[in-house]
Structure 1
Amino acid sequence: MSKKYTKSQLALRNGQDRDEIWVAFRGIIYDVGASRLWRNGKHYEHWAGQDLTEELKNAPHTDKVFEKFSIVGELI
């Protein structure tokens, strides 16, 4: 059973308010803090602490990019 987090709890993991840099995609929360592309909680025009499900449609990569990140929990 994975831990469950609300959107408010996810929003705090934005690389600014706390050290964690997390994003959600399709209900799963990933820790992207190890990626140099997410330094300071920002990745191009995207910000950590958010659900990126809709935004991925416009990304130059597929959802396979999330396979390299560890799963933190579930977005409720």
Structure 2
Amino acid sequence: MKSYSRQQLALRNGQDKPEIWVAYQGLIYDVTHSRLWKNGKHYEHWAGQDLTDELQDAPHNANVFLKFEPVGKLEQ
């Protein structure tokens, strides 16, 4: 699986490039086709970043990521 830097992830924010990606626990997910991530925003969360620490405040659990295919790994 290809690795991406935080800078590369940040470009997939729904504004700079057509892809909308988010990271969770070291994996990067493509959420481009999710109606909940339209324009790179999902409620108070923005695409192009690691959402691992933010999930605890979400009304759902990590199972939400099972709907999306990982596209890469986030470089630490």
Matched, 1:30 2:2: no
Give me the TM-score of the superposition, normalised by structure 2. Answer: 0.98
Tell whether 2:74 aligns with 1:49: no
Q: Percent identity?
A: 68
- Aligned pair count reads 75
Task: Name the TM-score, length of structure 1 as normaliser.
Answer: 0.98
- Once the two structures are TM-superposed, the CA of residue 70 in structure 1 deviates from its matched residue by 1.2
Unmatched 5+ stretches in structure 2: none
- Alpha carbon RMSD of aligned pairs, Å? 0.3
Which residue matches 2:68? 69
Consecutive aligned runs of 4 or more in structure 1 exceeding 4 Å deviation: none
User: Residue 30 of structure 1 aligns to which amino acid in structure 2?
Assistant: Y
Matched, 1:60 2:59: yes
- Structure 1 unmatched runs, 5+: none
